[in-house]
Homo-oligomer: A and B are copies of this chain.
Amino acid sequence: MFSVTILGNNSAVPAYDRHPTSQVVSTNHHTFLVDCGEGAQIQMMKYKIRRSRISHIFISHLHGDHFFGLAGLITSFGLLGRTQDLHIFSPGPLKEIIELQLKAGETLMPYQLFFHSIQNAGVLLDEEKMKVECFKTTHRIECYGFKFTEKKKPRKIDGDKIKAYDIPATFYERLKEGADYTRQNGEVIKNEWVTEAAPHEKIYAYCGDTRYEEKLVRYIKGADLVYHETTYLDNKREIAESRFHSTSRQAAELAKKAGVGKLLIGHFSSRYEKLDDFETEAREVFENTFIATEGVSYFV
């Protein structure tokens, strides 16, 4: 199980105490930051996020409301004495942008900063327990979504049963992987007799900024939790399309087509003071929809 904590749910111009996009994805082993709008570090303090644990930052695209908080966060890490590496993934010239600012301030970092340039859909990180992939969305500039998969755990051995069946300890690893055990006399001990299935792998998909784009279905299919932008209500569908954004109804339609578990919506235009209508509109199409609320953690 892992979680997503919302730091900002607004679109470009901050308003009504809503902040530009940023989210923290926390697992037992990692703290990831997804986008980093202005004020993200201040929101982290407000919501008691342990900033120092952030190891990887994924930036969907280089519109300011998704990365203008990054230079401040990086600098604060340095001033706070961070020594662990920091990995930043993004399309576009983010490295040049950050390095130019650090150079202007003659700022030396006590830690190493690694920039990873995203140029295509693919796997960004593949570790024992977590995989992070990116996929292209349809926005005014190059933009990516991110898919976080907490890998399926090994099967769980039932201590009493393996004793009863007298299976040697050297075979335990194979059992966890799902193998049957065959005795020298040919007798087969079926794996499911002595192990229990682990929970299925958990998936969170973050769809960045995007126009309604049906091809995203194949990336987010079956995800437990999906975040999709809904900059506008559906009566502003034309504006949404012209600006490469989505409406609440469109996000819900995509969630329904992809058969996801739960839909989070955000990136609301500053023209909307109240957000209730976004939830109402989306729920007409996809019941399990929720407003991405700042400071709230959603479990995957």
Least distance between A140 CB and chain B CB atoms (Å)? 7
A88 to chain B, nearest CB (A): 14
| Count of chain copies | 2
Question: Which B residues are in CB contact (< 8 Å) with A186?
Answer: none
Task: Say yes or no: is A79 at the interface (Cβ < 8 Å to chain B).
Answer: yes
Taking CB as reference atom, which chain B residue is nearest A91?
Answer: B104
Indicate if the CB atoms of B92 and A96 lie closer than 8 Å: no
Decide if A71 is an interface residue (CB 8 Å cutoff).
Answer: yes
Cβ contacts A63-96/B at 8 Å (1 or 0 each):
1110011011001100110000000000011101
The contact string, 1 if C-beta is below 8 Å from chain B, for chain A 82-120, is 000000000011101100110011110000000000000
Cα distance A14–B44 when bound, in Å?
A: 11
Give the complex CA separation of A68 and B75 in angstroms. 10
Beta-carbon contact of A72 and B38 below 8 Å: yes
Q: Does A12 contact B (CB under 8 A)?
A: yes
Within the complex, the shortest CB–CB distance from A291 to chain B, in Å, comes to 20
When the two chains form the complex, which single residue of B38, B101, B105 contacts A42, counting CB atoms closer than 8 Å? B38
Cβ-neighbour of A14 out of B19, B41, B104 (below 8 A): B41
Report yes or no: A62 in contact with B104, Cβ–Cβ below 8 A: yes
Given A14-B42, A45-B15: A62 and B140 interface contact (C-beta under 8 Å)? no
The winner among A13, A69, A140 for most chain B CB atoms within 10 A is A13
What residues on B are CB-neighbors of A19 within 8 Å?
Answer: 42
How far apart are the CA atoms of A92 and B20 in the complex, in Å? Answer: 28
What residues of chain B lie closer than 8 Å to A13, measured between beta carbons? Answer: 76, 79-80
Interfacial residues, chain A to chain B (CB-CB below 8 A): 12-15, 19-20, 38-39, 41-42, 45, 62-65, 68-69, 71-72, 75-76, 79-80, 92-94, 96-97, 100-101, 104-107, 140-141
A-B contact list, 11 entries, CB within 8 Å: A12-B76, A13-B80, A19-B42, A38-B72, A62-B105, A64-B75, A64-B105, A68-B72, A93-B100, A97-B104, A105-B141
